[in-house]
Amino acid sequence: MLVPVIAALFTANLSAAPAVVDPATRVRVDSTHHELVITTGPYDLPNMPPMTDHAMMDLGMSHDTPISRFQWPVEGWFRGFKIEVLDRDGRPLPRHIMHHMIMVNFSRRQLIYSAAERLMGAGTETDDATIPRTIGVPMKANSDLGLYVAWHNDTGKDLQGVTLRLTLEWMPRNQNPRPLDVMPIYMDVNLTVGGTNTFDVPAGKSTKSFEFTLPVGGRLLAVGGHLHDYGVRVQLQDVESGRMLTSVNATRDASGHVTKIDRRLFGVSGEGLRLRAGRRYRVISEYDNPTGQTIHNGAMAHMVGLFAPDDVRKWPQIDPNDATYQKDLASLRVRGHKMDDMEGMHHN
């Protein structure tokens, strides 16, 4: 994702996921300011009781929208975003009613997982952000994108006609000097592509981890992350040396509710943190649950970042016949439908 780090790529045959533009999502190009304004909705959101993240995941107490499809209209580089939640008259609403939003790039694969790229994502703890003009995520005109939103309206009243407005900053292809190409990288401690990335949180302190090997080396320029209540941090470790390379830490209130996640910059105009092809790495989450009981499906934990590959030609390509990739597409198709169909499908 051009993921919470700036808060959070090559065309393939996607016959299994045809580009169908959703009329509920409108895209406007502002060439003067180099902005794309994407508006999706309207949505009618019934009032829901206040809930912690873990309770919402456990009981399904959210309004998860179907994925809305649209096309990226310009050639250039993506470099930042601003998010607004508006009522039917265009007035601002509390942004926290948007629990999270994910934008998917169906025209490019993720680095680690055989799944469609998560171009960007934002949650209640994510601020608007922009990266320097020296770097950018390359985007081809007519790339096939989609987005979905998990709403949780705890305002005390039903809301009708709610819209989400995203203002995305981009740089044109004649940008001078040319930005360094960077890609989203997503590292989850518990992801099954097309399935779940939630997990139980036992009482007390606990960790969970996932190991992976990069198919292409490069430099990690910035990282952020996502945790649910009682989350402490997410770390990245070099398995062979045992050295902790970096971590992002949660800011929590007195009750353990996560209010913010660190971002770390390793030099968006410098060398960055070197990651090597073929080397084993481990992403590790830490939780500290003081409730005295296990919280069922109460956690998520991932680290996301901006990655400058050594050789972009070696970026893994989409194989539309790959079974894992097909599972990812299938899980995206049922977003926002009946909870029976959605059970376990929480891949951000």
What pLDDT, in 10s, does the model give residues 132-183?
899 999 999 999 999 999 898 989 999 999 999 999 999 999 999 999 999 9
Domains of the chain (ranges plus CATH)? 4-180+317-338 (no CATH), 182-314 (2.60.120.230)
pLDDT at position 244 over 50: yes
Q: Is 206 helix (H, G, I), strand (E, B) or coil?
A: strand
pLDDT of residue 63: 65
Average pLDDT value for residue range 218-246: 94
Amino acid 61: pLDDT:
43
Range with the poorest average pLDDT among 38-47, 75-84, 189-198, 243-252: 189-198
Region at 124 (left for phi over 0; alpha for psi -120 to 50; beta for the rest): alpha
3-state secondary structure of 313: helix
Per-residue pLDDT, 124: 74
For residues 175-198, give the mean pLDDT.
91
Q: What is the residue-averaged pLDDT of the chain?
A: 85
Residues in the chain: 348
Q: Please determine, for residue 52, whether its predicted confidence score (pLDDT) is greater than 90.
A: no
Q: Is the pLDDT of residue 340 over 50?
A: no
pLDDT band at 5 (very low <50, low <70, confident <90, very high): very low
d(CA 136, CA 256) in angstroms, rounded, equals: 35
Residue 73 has pLDDT above 50, yes or no: yes
* pLDDT given for residue 23 in this prediction: 56
> Using 50, 70 and 90 to split pLDDT, how confident is the model at 45?
very high
Cβ-in-10-Å burial (0-12, 13-18, 19+) of 154 comes to middle
The residues facing 84 across adjacent strands are 165
Q: How far apart are CA 114 and CA 107, in angstroms?
A: 13
- Which has the minimum average pLDDT: 105-119, 255-269, 310-324? 255-269
Give the CA distances from residue 79 to residues 7, 113, 127, 131, 183, in Å, rounded to whole numbers and listed in that order: 11, 23, 14, 6, 11
**Span of 42-46, 238-242, 282-286 with lowest mean pLDDT:** 42-46
Token pair for 331: 């899980």
Query: Does residue 7 surpass a pLDDT of 60?
Result: no
Residue 53 has pLDDT above 50, yes or no: no
- Alpha-carbon distance values, 20 to 24, 67, 181, 261 (Å): 12, 11, 28, 35
pLDDT digits (tens, 9 = 90+) for 261-316: 888 888 655 578 999 999 999 999 999 999 999 999 889 999 999 999 999 889 99
Phi/psi at 338 (nearest 5 deg)?
A: -55, 145
Residue 232, pLDDT > 80, answer yes
